Chain A
Amino acid sequence: SQQGEEDPQALSIQEGENATMNCSYKTSINNLQWYRQNSGRGLVHLILIRSNEREKHSGRLRVTLDTSKKSSSLLITASRAADTASYFCATDPQGAQKLVFGQGTRLTINP
């Protein structure tokens, strides 16, 4: 089964609103990453948060990590049409040499 699971699977909001996506995982991790994928393209790295960090910002992106709940959230503020994409979390489980991706959240920004 997947290490990381995103919630919701799909999200549709109006331009200018904030979008929040969540990621839950099962085992202890070293870090967690978020990626964006535009339709038909490869994944692009957005942000990495380490297990000893609780919050990280990058432009309009804010990521939080709660290791006690084994969950992370990605907040996109003041959304734009160009933010329409799928968003994936990826975890680096402790003791494993692998990076494991979740199933993704499909975000649609309506004009």
Chain B
Amino acid sequence: NAGVTQTPKFQVLKTGQSMTLQCAQDMNHEYMSWYRQDPGMGLRLIHYSVGAGITDQGEVPNGYNVSRSTTEDFPLRLLSAAPSQTSVYFCAASPGRIYEQYFGPGTRLTVT
């Protein structure tokens, strides 16, 4: 039982490149979410999903896309990377937003 896994752990992109951050969970939880963490800003919600086929925007969705084709996977796509997207990205899963959130180990992204 791995919980929530994220790949890659580290990534360096050039401005304008695109990439997908992977998030997978083996707990069969319906609710999944993506956050970014910047120094002094805490965690900010990017996108979330209440179940397969359903996604919605959080506080800072611009520049990011998500999809939820299965319960297990919730990838985050950066369409055209910008230096402002340099951050640590965390994925989380839970039975619902009112329950304990299980976080992945994070992906540290640098955009040059």
Contact = CB atoms under 8 A, between A and B. Distances in A.
How extensive is the interface on chain A, given as a class? 20 to 34
Contacts of B40: 103
A43 B100 CA distance: 11
A98 B97 contact: yes
Given A42-B106, A98-B58, A31 B98 contact: yes
Interface string A51-91: 00000000000000000000000000000000000001010
Given A103-B40, A103-B41, A103-B42, A97 B104 contact: no
A106 to B, nearest CB: 10
Interface residues of B, number: 26
Contacts of B33: 99
A2 B45 CA distance: 11
B56 interface: yes
B95 interface: no
A102 B108 CA distance: 20
A55 to B, nearest CB: 19
A90 to B, nearest CB: 7
B24 interface: no
Given A41-B105, A43-B90, A97-B56, A102 B42 contact: yes
Nearest to A29: B98
Contacts of B102: 45
Nearest to A4: B42
B41 A43 contact: no
A33 B100 contact: yes
